[in-house]
């Protein structure tokens, strides 16, 4: 296996819904394993059998991995300290994905428009509070 890097997100009990939504928006293939799935080992902590133990969306351009967070821990997602940057070939490709996130309950954080460096850039929060930044040349 070649070296790679992927984003891993711990969600507050919404991983199944979030990964299904991202799969619908971005395409690719989705691998999702719940705590209650056959073959999962017993955990040393209380788990929801419907909770996501591990998910990976193999989207065009990269992978997004994640799970539901550990019981009793806080997982604030909506913040501007991070974003998932998706670089695309054309502004129209970016606009299409931005619109899918907005139609899915997201909100615009920064309009997608010509950037001072000559490309195009904008930001959207999806309905789960994850900020997606979009960039094109």
Q: What is the tens place of the pLDDT at every residue in 14-67?
A: 999 999 999 999 999 999 999 888 777 777 777 788 999 999 999 999 999 999
pLDDT over 70 at 1, yes or no = no
Please give the tally of structural domains in the chain: 2
Q: What is the predicted pLDDT for the residue at 34?
A: 93
Q: In what order do the strands lie in the sheet with 62-68?
A: 7-11, 62-68, 52-59, 29-34
Sign of the C-alpha dihedral, residues 29, 24, 77, 125?
positive
Do 61 and 90 fall into the same domain?
no
Instruction: Specify the pTM.
Output: 0.89
> Is 95 in the same domain as 127?
yes
- Position 96 pLDDT exceeds 80: yes
Window from 8-12, 43-47, 62-66, 107-111 with minimum mean pLDDT: 43-47
Is residue 19 domain-resident?
yes
Range(s) of the domain holding residue 41:
7-68
Return d(Cα 115, Cα 135) in angstroms, integer: 9
Dihedral sign for Cα 24, 30, 33, 38, please.
positive
Other C-beta atoms closer than 10 Å to the C-beta of 15 total 23
């Amino acid at each position: 296996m070649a070296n790679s890097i992927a984003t891993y997100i711990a969600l507050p009990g919404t991983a199944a819904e979030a990964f299904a939504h991202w799969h619908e928006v971005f395409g690719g293939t989705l691998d999702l394993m719940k705590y209650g799935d056959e073959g999962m080992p017993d955990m040393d902590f209380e788990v929801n059998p419907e909770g996501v133990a591990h998910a990976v969306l193999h989207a065009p351009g990269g992978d997004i991995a994640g799970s539901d967070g550990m019981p009793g821990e806080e997982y604030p997602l909506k913040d501007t300290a991070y974003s998932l940057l998706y670089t695309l070939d054309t502004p129209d490709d970016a606009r299409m994905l931005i619109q899918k996130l907005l139609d899915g309950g997201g909100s615009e954080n920064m309009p997608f428009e010509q950037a001072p460096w000559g490309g195009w850039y904008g930001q959207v929060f999806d309905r789960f509070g994850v900020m997606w930044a979009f960039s094109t040349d």
